[in-house]
A and B are shown apart, each in its own frame.
Chain A
Amino acid sequence: MPQATSPSQDVTIGILGTQNRSLSAKRNWTYPASQPIALQGAFAEHQVMLQKLSLKKRVVIVLIRQPEDLDKCDALIIPGGESTTIALLARLAGLLEPIREFLKTKPVWGTCAGAILLAQWVENAKKGGQELLGGISVTVERNGFGSQVESFEAPLEVEGLRESNRPFHGIFIRAPVVVNLKPSPTDPPIQIISRISASLLPASQTVIPPDEDDTDPRDPRTIVALRQGLHLLTTFHPELTKDDRFHEYFVRECVLPTLGSRSSSPA
């Protein structure tokens, strides 16, 4: 528990979303706490997971509605939803460029649709192309597993997770597939933290030979969670489980290290 309430004791995490009912506790009775709305998608679930974490620092959650909201944040989560809808609403709210700036210095985690937005390149985009934020040097294929009928759940082994011997329950809903990794020499290296078994890949796809830049000989399409620099990408939905280990991982591995340099030097 934090003894003093100096700002450096807090870690502020933004979740991309313009509207929020659940934080206005007064109205909970009329409008149940259960319905905060993001730009679009499932951000309330992220909020609940973060609030459950027990950390030395207090986690403050901010819902990002406009560019100014980003200034307060130490990190950002882009939730699941429809990537085309989220990108459109982000553009209309003037958030695209501010988030691209944010990505240069601060950690961002994208789940599912958020992962698509974080990718540098996308396949199977909507006709006429779609806007991405970029930030992680990978190509993803939207709906890579197929339609909703192919959505599935599977246990995952995740490197670096707390109690990592216990598998993490991955929920894949019209999930994107990582098709290749293309870090340029100046980019931070990509670290793969979880894969699914190749047998879960859609049968229709033939195995693509791994990219030359990929030091791991295995099929890149089995990758379901990876990190590059400060950023984290998961093609599944940790927020739909009741397991907070992935949220703890993001805060511990991606967010707290960036704070260390900030808060320790003046103190």
Chain B
Amino acid sequence: MTTPIQAQTPVSTPPVPHGVGNPAGTPVVAPTRTKDKDGGASGGLGTFGVKSGLAQMLKGGVIMDVVNPEQARIAEEAGACAVMALERVPADIRAEGGVARMSDPSMIKQIVDAVTIPVMAKVRIGHFVEAQILQAIGIDYIDESEVLTPADEEHHINKHAFKVPFVCGARNLGEALRRISEGAAFIRTKGEAGTGNVVEAVRHQRSVMSEIRKASVMSEEELYTYAKEIQAPFHLLKETARLKRLPVVNFAAGGIATPADAALMMQLGCDGVFVGSGIFHSENPAKRARAIVQAVTHFNNPKILAEISEDLGPAMVGLTIDDNLKGGRLAGRGW
């Protein structure tokens, strides 16, 4: 990692997103410790290693939005690697409008009790008190999400200050790296939640990948300029260019409704997918959920994809994404 001059084509890219273990020096992804936050007696709690490590364990999996313990059980039985507990799935937030907030902690706790897989929950962008509440009830991951109504139009949460890890949305490389520098241990491309239309998810994933490819052949001088251009911290951009991937796990989200959508996102280079409204707004959630789980595992085997795509019943009704989109574009939230 000490060849500054030439942007050579790196030999073999380490698949380990950085910041994990990390004895080779360079605390690249901010190594803030939060051990004294709750007077933790054991020092190694809530390190970036364990935060990003959990995301590593989710790779190749599907994270499903659920609104009650029954749905959470269906998701677990279908092979979800985690569930996202929320009061309304994005499609309903769109339809009903109003301010969308963190869910009732008692409802989240019921879901935690119902399943053994990790449970995530959403907080509004910038609403660090909602995050403190979720940490206090022992949630496994927090999504600082544009799907909820933002609470702060300038600042995101300082995620280093928490023991619980955060996932954040991003539309491009600059946004992803800004979130990582704030302490996000996991990135999802935003897509357009609640539409059942995968077009934005594809746009965002392609944009992240193409910017990484661009950065990976740049010289150090060019990287300085590029960092300024995309408003990303230089050290994270440099690390991304070296790894040829984001330094944390990257899932796709926002509009995935079919097994083929999920496999598409996997083939475009993400590590796993979030499926929000797509499962429980379809006719046969259990079957569709399992099919999407299998699609993520067998994403480049069209034969298996064909088999699992059969007889799933109608998918959720999709929306075209234009200026008349009900509920507006959510992806533009976040700065």
Q: A18-B298, A199-B42, A242-B23 are known contacts. Are A112 and B57 too (CB-CB below 8 A)?
A: yes
Q: A34-B13, A149-B138 are known contacts. Are A40 and B60 too (CB-CB below 8 A)?
A: yes
**Which of B82, B114, B163 is most buried by chain A, counting CB atoms within 10 A of its CB?**
B163
Contact B140 A127 (CB under 8 A): no
| A interface residues, tally (CB under 8 Å) | 61
* CB neighbours of A213 from chain B (8 A): none
Bound together, the chains give a CA A39 to CA B293 distance in angstroms of 10
For chain B, the bracket of interface size reads 35 or more
* CB neighbours of A92 from chain B (8 A): 294
Does residue B14 face the partner (Cβ distance < 8 Å to A)?
Answer: yes
Contact B243 A34 (CB under 8 A): yes
Contact A149 B13 (CB under 8 A): no
Least Cβ distance of A131 to chain B in Å?
12
Least Cβ distance of A42 to chain B in Å?
5
Instruction: Of the listed stretches B45-53, B168-176, B312-320, B323-331, name the one at the interface; the rest are far from the partner chain.
Output: B45-53
Contact B135 A149 (CB under 8 A): yes
Which of A31, A44, A47, A82 interacts with B117 by CB under 8 Å?
A82
Contact A154 B61 (CB under 8 A): no
* CB neighbours of B164 from chain A (8 A): 148-149
Q: A151-B45, A153-B47, A199-B42 are known contacts. Are A41 and B17 too (CB-CB below 8 A)?
A: no
Contact A152 B17 (CB under 8 A): no
Does residue B202 face the partner (Cβ distance < 8 Å to A)?
Answer: no
Contact A33 B266 (CB under 8 A): no
Contact B56 A45 (CB under 8 A): yes
* CB neighbours of A47 from chain B (8 A): 15
* CB neighbours of B76 from chain A (8 A): 84, 126
* CB neighbours of B115 from chain A (8 A): 126-127
Would you list which residues of chain A between 171 and 209 have a CB under 8 Å from chain B?
171-174, 199-200
* CB neighbours of B332 from chain A (8 A): none
Least Cβ distance of B254 to chain A in Å?
20
Does residue B21 face the partner (Cβ distance < 8 Å to A)?
Answer: yes
* CB neighbours of A38 from chain B (8 A): 59-60
Does residue A243 face the partner (Cβ distance < 8 Å to B)?
Answer: yes
Does residue A48 face the partner (Cβ distance < 8 Å to B)?
Answer: yes
**Which of B57, B293, B301 is most buried by chain A, counting CB atoms within 10 A of its CB?**
B57
Which chain B residue shows the least CB distance to A82? B81
Would you list which residues of chain B between 20 and 55 have a CB under 8 Å from chain A?
20-24, 41-42, 44-47, 49-51, 53-54
6 pairs, CB–CB < 8 Å, chain A vs chain B:
A19-B297, A40-B60, A81-B57, A125-B116, A152-B47, A240-B20
Task: Please name the 9 residue pairs, one residue from A and one from B, whose CB atoms are nearest each other, closest first.
Answer: A153-B44, A241-B21, A37-B60, A148-B140, A151-B50, A34-B15, A44-B15, A152-B44, A88-B79
